[in-house]
Amino acid sequence: MREYHVSREKQEGAYPTISAAIGAASEAGLSGDETVRIRIDAGTYREKVFTEIPRLILEGSGEDQTILTWSDGAFDPYTGEGEPENAKRGTFRSYTAFLGGSCVAVRNMTIRNEAGEGKDAGQALAVYADADVCLFERVTMTSCQDTLFCAPLPDKERQPRGFVGPRMNSERRPTRQYYVDCTILGDVDFIFGGADAVFDGCHIISHCRTRVQGETNGYITAPSGKRESLGMVFRACRITAEEGTPEGSVYLGRPWRPEGKSTFLHCQYDESISPGRFSGWKGVEEPEPEATFAEYAPVDLLGAPLSLAARHGNAQELTAEEAAVPEQAATALAEAVQRTVRMMQDG
């Protein structure tokens, strides 16, 4: 394993930025099975990070200690070779951190995008999680619209240049992603993409986008995977909203593509979550017959069972037997990701 150290303080052998350490590692002639570990001291690092190091560990000093931040938004003007006149940055070039490669583990830090509200800045990714295998432990990710993109992209874009960015013309590779004890904050479609992704014990927080009762504040997930995939599974997560968010104004998800899947098992909700739970892509009541939205044993913040009687027409209330299927698949994915990361660390 090759070790690199990042510090805001002048220290012998330490790099001043995360990007500088990544650059040094990328130029070091790594063998295919060699792991890079970058330890990041406490401090705020204002930079945009891109890495495709095959095997990478990014390790901060704590979620409130090591902060990586940038402020690119989709509506920003974008110039460069081959860009059309009046080009915009677009969603998939707005990331604060792009994490490619075969396996990446990120721990004990905050990654945020400070571009601002979606109505002003457009989509603004904090994290573009693209590695074949991703593990995030005790990581806080914050933005407004589109905080966390769990690659891959859908097969086809709906608008010209809708996918412009690092993977626009790439093969759509399946990814396995595991998030443990993370905090994720946003408002519209802020956990989205086509990954098979498991979220265990995470705190999901909706940013207060409106204070008007009766308006939709936002949607947590926007899955785009295939029917046969696992999709996104949330287990024992705490799902709340910032103070002032109207009751019933947050939906657990809507399908970015018709076959998108989101499942919530043993999760806790505050009063911001809509009794309908899920929404159609273009409207709250729009039918989504190909999507899979399911729940099992939801409770309020005091642990009292919640009714699913008013759920969206295509949402499912799982039985214990039915819930065991995604539960077991999520456990298998989590164990596989952890095993891969252990092998990377020991290699």
Contact assessment for residue 192 and residue 154, using Cβ atoms and an 8 Å cutoff: no
- DSSP of 211-267, one letter per residue? --TTS--EEEEEE---TTS--EEEES-EEEE-TTPPTT-EEEE--SSTT-EEEEES-
Contact assessment for residue 195 and residue 176, using Cβ atoms and an 8 Å cutoff: yes
Whether residue 82 is contained in a domain is answered as yes
Residue whose tokens read 């930025």: 17
Q: Where does residue 140 rank: exposed (0-12), middle (13-18), buried (19+ CB within 10 A)?
A: buried
Tell me, what's the pLDDT at 109? 98
Query: How does DSSP classify residue 25?
Result: H
Tell me, what's the pLDDT at 47? 98
Residue whose tokens read 């899955």: 223
Tell me the residue type at 239.
I
Whether residue 205 is contained in a domain is answered as yes
Beta bridge partners of 99: 51, 129
Q: What is the CATH number of the domain that holds 71?
A: 2.160.20.10
Whether residue 140 is contained in a domain is answered as yes
Using only the alpha carbons of the chain, give its radius of gyration: 20
Whether residue 10 is contained in a domain is answered as no
Tell me, what's the pLDDT at 30? 79
Cα dihedral across residues 323, 327, 330, 336: positive or negative = negative
Whether residue 39 is contained in a domain is answered as no
Tell me, what's the pLDDT at 29? 78
Whether residue 118 is contained in a domain is answered as yes
Whether the model pTM is above 0.75: yes
Whether residue 21 is contained in a domain is answered as no
Structural domain span for residue 281? 46-346
Tell me, what's the pLDDT at 81? 83
Cα separation, 83 vs 79, whole angstroms? 6
Per-residue pLDDT of the chain (347 residues; tens, 9 = 90+): 999 999 999 888 899 999 999 999 999 877 778 999 999 999 999 999 999 999 999 999 999 999 999 999 999 999 988 899 899 999 999 999 999 999 999 999 999 999 999 999 999 999 999 999 999 999 999 999 999 999 999 999 999 999 999 999 999 999 999 999 999 999 999 999 999 999 999 999 999 999 989 899 999 999 999 999 999 999 999 999 999 999 999 999 999 999 999 999 999 999 999 999 999 999 999 999 999 999 999 999 999 999 999 999 999 999 999 999 999 999 999 999 999 999 999 86
Single out the residue of 169, 166, 168, 152 nearest to residue 231, CA to CA. 152
Whether residue 11 is contained in a domain is answered as no
Single out the residue of 149, 242, 138, 144 nearest to residue 191, CA to CA. 149
Cα dihedral across residues 27, 29, 31, 33: positive or negative = negative
Output the CA–CA distances (angstroms, integers) from residue 141 to 36, 197, 205, 312, in the order listed.
22, 15, 10, 29
Tell me, what's the pLDDT at 28? 83
Looking at the 3D structure of the chain, how many domains does it have?
1
